[in-house]
Every structure is written in C-alpha cells, then in structure tokens.
A and B are shown apart, each in its own frame.
Chain A
Amino acid sequence: MKKSKGRIFFEIYNYSILVSMAALCLFPMIHVLAVSFSSGSAAAAGWVSLWPVDFTLSSYTFVLEKADFISSLMVSFQRLFWGLIASLTITIITAYPLSKGKRDLRIRGIYIWVFIFTMLFNGGLIPTYMIIKETGLLDSIGALVIPCAVNVYFIILLMNFFKNIPKSLEEAAFIDGAGHWTTLFKIYLPLSLPALATITLFISVFHWNSWFDGLIYMNRPENYPLSSFLQTVVIQRDLTFITDTREIEMLSKVDGKTVKSAQIFLGALPILAVYPFLQRYFVKGITLGSVKG
C-alpha cells in the first residue's frame, strides 16, 4: 500500500519526537559518565557534555580508595544478601497458603484483610521509627531488612502466579502422601521460576535503591548503605564526611564535581547491569500482578 504524503510527514515527525524522548532519558546518564572521566577543571568550567574532556581515571581511583565509600558498598552488599533471603522466604511461604481457596484455608479471608489493610493505612513516619527503635534494631542491618521483609505487593504477585498452577498437580501429590511443604517446594517452586526471577530482581532493585531507611535508622555514618551514603555526599554535601586534611587536598585536585559523578555512576552501575533482565521481566511482572484473583 502506498503511503500518503500526510502519513509520511506524520511518520517522520513521530519518529523524531520519540527518538528525542529516548535521547532525553539517556543523556543525563551519559553526561555523568563523561564528567566522571574528565579532569576537574574541565568539569568545573562546564566544558564537558557527552564526551570526556582531558580523559583521566583520577576520580575513580580517588573514590575506590575512599574508606567510607568502600565500607558503605560493603553494607549495601550485606543488605542485598540478607534482604533477598528474608524477603524471598517470607514472600514464598506467605503467598502459598494465601493462594489456596476457602476450602483449604477457611480463614483465608481474615488473613487477606490483615495484609491488605497495611496497604490502605499506616502509622506514619514517627510511630514506625519509634517501633523500630523499641525493637532494638537501630544501627543494625536488621533495621534495613526485617521491617520490609513482608511486601504485600510481591506476595500478591506470587499468589496470583501460584493460583494459576493446575490444581490437579497438587491433588496428585496429596494422594502420593505429600504434605503442603513438600508440595510447595517440589511442585510449586519449580513451576514458578519466571515469577521468582521477577520478584528476585524487584527485591534486589528495591534494596539497592533504598536510602531513606538507612539515613534514619543508622546513627553512625559507617553503617550507611551505599545509597544513603550517596545521599549524604551527593545531595547534602556534608563536609563532616571528609575526615582528614589530606583528603581535602586530594579533593581540590580532582574537583568535587567529577568525584560526585564517579560516585553517582558507580551507584547506578548495578542497576544498569541488571537492566536488560529487568526490562524483560518487568512487563511480565506487571501483567502477572494484575491477573484477577
């Protein structure tokens, strides 16, 4: 079919708009990368756009030798590790019983409401802080992992996936004498790998990106996970983080801007690394969660 003149005009227009939008979403990240590899003076003068000026690795060598950066990176890895274990376990063992019908779990309705209500109403910042203080979790990795281990969205997501697993499989297992635990681990989990991969990614991104809880539940900066640490150095520009004069000298050489950019980029790097997988799964995740239960 021959395209009309109007159609061709529209397609060119449409194409240009969409491509510029895509560029607009990528440029800031590329700019940061370019600044991080540039010399301090070029960056400070604003000469860097999308390509490094006076290419240098000095801001990266500086950042990777900074004790506070490295220690917060370690806290982040710890958080990721424990967070994944806690959240995945809780999500799996909670989604399974809730995916059962009323016939198998008679008070399912009550349980569901207890969980759903937390999505409708919350105690707010101050009472939550006080509870976490009372439980003695302040300044421990537990404060960043335990209170958020129950995520009702993830539970619903997996619950809906479990619901679509054919009942006949479970009945056959029961006849063979399997209990609920065996059924969950031997039948449900192997069949749910795509859903579990999606949830694993979501949980990882959540933990990597979370910064506010670290900021308020950790009193000592050396306990900050990376995102909280970045919040304080990149956004708050708190000078108390610079501990000795040697560091100040070094900082004036590499210039704050390139060091900042290097830290921002390193902070975003894990997300960029898992991004190809993220985007494959997250459309699936969205549709998964919206299946009517």
Chain B
Amino acid sequence: MNLNLKLRREIPLHIMILPALVLIIIFNYGPMVGIIIAFEKYIPTKGFFGSKWVGLDNFRYILSMPDIQQILKNTIVIAMTKIVVGLFIPVIVALSLNELGSDRTKRAIQTSIYLPHFLSWVILGGILVDILSPSSGFVNKILGSLGVEPIFFLGDNDWFQFTVIITNTWKEFGYATIIYLAAITSVDPNLYEAAIVDGANRWRQTWHITLPGMKTIIILMTVLSLGAVLNAGFDQLFNLYNPIVYETGDIIDTFVYRLGLIDAQFGPATAVGLFKSLVSLVFISVSYFLADKLAGYSIF
C-alpha cells in the first residue's frame, strides 16, 4: 500500500479519538495547567493567569499550620493499614472459600461478601452512623447485653481510625477475594492429583500448589496498591467523620476540600493537592514499573 492511501485510511481513526482527546485536554490537562493557582494569590474573577504570583508563599503558609503534620500522619497511617489489611484478608478468605466442598454454599457466600463493594459510602455511611450510634445503635445494643459500656465508634478519637479500617475492610474484602479466587480456579488440577498421589495433605497442597499458583496475582495486587499510599479514602472519611474526630480522621483530601471549597483558600488548598499529586505520581509510576517487571503486567 502506498503511503498516501495508508494515511487516508488512518483519518477515521483520528476522528474517532478526537472527542475523547478534546475532553481530556479540557478536563484533565486543563486542571494541570490550573495548578499554577498553588503559586498565586488566586482570585477567580482574574483567572489562572491574571492572579498575583506569590511564589512559594502558599506552601510556607501550609507548613506553618499547626494541624498539617497530624493530617499527613493520619493519611499515611490510615492508607497504609488499609493496604496491608486489604492484602492479607482477601487471600485468606479466598483460600478458605476454596476449601468449601459445596459449590452452592461457596457461591452464596461469595454473592454476599461483595455486595457492600457496590454500595456507595453515602449509603454505607448512613447505615454505619445508625448502627454504630452509642445510644440506639445495633452494635452497642449487643455490646451492652454483654456488659460493655457504649462505645462512640465514630465520635471517639481512640476508636475512629480502628472503625474506619474495619468498615473499609468490610466493604472491600469481598471484591478482592474474587480476584484471588479466579487465580485459584486457574491452577492446573493435574498438579493436585499428582500431589495426592505423592501423599500430600490439604495443607501441603495449599502451601505448595495453591499459594504458588496465586503468587503472580498477589505480587501484582501488592505492587499496584503502592500507588494508594496517600489515598486514605476521601469518600469514606467524608461520610463518617465529624469535627470531634478531626484529630484522628482528617486526611489530606478532606483537608483540601474544607480549605479550598468551604474556606475559599484556593491557593493553599491547591498547594496541598499538588503535593499529594506529585507524591502519588512517583508511587504510581514505581508501582506500574514494578508490576511490569515482577508480574509481567502492563496496563496498556
């Protein structure tokens, strides 16, 4: 085919991409240009390029805020705990489910455990606020009948992070379990037969066949979760926290929201957001690189 004809054949393909290209240039690359707000005393009516340039003032202002260290600490602690718990529990649940004899029970349990994944944090938040209430909540009623004093799970700084981790695990473990179960079912059944002939019991089969069979996907999930070191979960925190537990529950994202959209401190809020985006860029890039190197996974 000559070059001219080839080029002409390509034209429809470019036309197809064009709408998406225009949209991401406006709504994804536009905001990246808008990051200059972080270095400005931004006034919306003057626009991105008309506002006064203040250099690093916004960053200095942020660093001088008394709560900023605590917020960073909360973010990392919540995010990291979620990552670690989120890796172990689903693997264990998947292995346990695999040990169930009856397929019907297995499917019924699977169906139940990933239901919360599809409900939003607004719905789940509403439910949790209700059942965790210290006065009339279901959980505290049960604890009360066991003689335990009411616990204010969502209003006590000693309990808040714990509650956040547990409820997040509750929402998400079923979803991750499915991924591991899929890996288990793809293990070659001949391997088990060979192992049984060699006299291996169920534990040894799990240890020597099932787990190695899941190795790649476990590595992959671990590595990909690295990208979330600063994602403590805005949707969850925003729907569960309140001013009483800012001390343990305020994270970068909720802070940016309040500072930027409630207090209208656009410059400083953008500066905090930029910090998060930059750190995440590094971690996500590293995680994709490792996923490619260790698990042979490339996203495109």
Binding site for B on A (CB under 8 A): 7, 10-11, 14-15, 17-19, 21-26, 28-29, 31-32, 35, 44-46, 49, 89-90, 93-94, 96-98, 100, 104-106, 111-112, 114-116, 118-135, 146-147, 149-150, 155-156, 159, 179-181, 184, 205, 208-212, 216, 227, 230-231, 234-235, 257, 260-261, 263-264, 267-268, 271, 275, 278-279, 282-283, 286-287, 290, 292-293
For A276, give the chain B residue with the smallest CB separation. Answer: B111
Q: Compute how far the CA of A29 lies from the CA of B118 in the bound complex, rounded to whole angstroms.
A: 13
Tell me whether B34 and A123 are in contact (CB under 8 A): yes
Tell me whether A120 and B281 are in contact (CB under 8 A): yes
Q: Which of A10, A115, A268 contacts B119 (CB 8 A)?
A: A268
Tell me whether B276 and A124 are in contact (CB under 8 A): yes
Q: Which of B34, B202, B299 contacts A130 (CB 8 A)?
A: B34
Q: Identify 10 residue pairs between A and B in the complex whose beta-carbon atoms are under 8 Å apart, listed by A's number.
A: A21-B93, A49-B138, A123-B35, A124-B256, A125-B261, A126-B273, A127-B35, A159-B300, A212-B238, A263-B126
Tell me whether B127 and A90 are in contact (CB under 8 A): no
Tell me whether B273 and A125 are in contact (CB under 8 A): yes
The stretch of B25-33, B60-68, B77-85 in contact with A is B25-33
Tell me whether A98 and B127 are in contact (CB under 8 A): no
Q: Which of A128, A130, A235 contacts B48 (CB 8 A)?
A: A130
State the main secondary structure of chain B at its contact with A: helix
Tell me whether B284 and A119 are in contact (CB under 8 A): yes
Q: Which of A25, A97, A115 contacts B116 (CB 8 A)?
A: A25
For B109, give the chain A residue with the smallest CB separation. Answer: A22
Mark out the residues of chain B between 1 and 21 whose CB falls within 8 Å of any chain A CB in the assembled complex: 9-10, 12-14, 16-17, 19-21
| Cβ–Cβ < 8 Å partners of A290 in chain B | 297
| Cβ–Cβ < 8 Å partners of A227 in chain B | 120, 122
Tell me whether A21 and B113 are in contact (CB under 8 A): yes
Tell me whether B300 and A293 are in contact (CB under 8 A): yes
Q: Compute how far the CA of A235 lies from the CA of B238 in the bound complex, rounded to whole angstroms.
A: 9
Q: How far is the CB of B144 from chain A (nearest CB, A)?
A: 10
Tell me whether B126 and A283 are in contact (CB under 8 A): no
Asked if B156 is at the interface of the complex by the 8 Å CB criterion, the answer is no
Tell me whether B277 and A32 are in contact (CB under 8 A): no
Tell me whether A128 and B123 are in contact (CB under 8 A): no
With contacts A147-B27, A271-B118 known, what are 9 further pairs, Cβ within 8 A?
Answer: A94-B17, A97-B13, A105-B13, A123-B273, A124-B31, A127-B270, A128-B34, A149-B23, A150-B20
The stretch of B97-105, B157-165, B207-215, B243-251 in contact with A is B97-105
Asked if B37 is at the interface of the complex by the 8 Å CB criterion, the answer is yes
Interface centre among A14, A90, A129, A283 (most CB of B within 10 A): A129
Given A31-B138, A104-B10, A104-B13, A264 contacting B126 (CB threshold 8 A): yes
Tell me whether A235 and B125 are in contact (CB under 8 A): yes
| Cβ–Cβ < 8 Å partners of A282 in chain B | 178
Tell me whether B122 and A230 are in contact (CB under 8 A): yes
Tell me whether B182 and A286 are in contact (CB under 8 A): yes
| Cβ–Cβ < 8 Å partners of B37 in chain A | 126-127, 130
Q: How far is the CB of A160 from chain B (nearest CB, A)?
A: 9
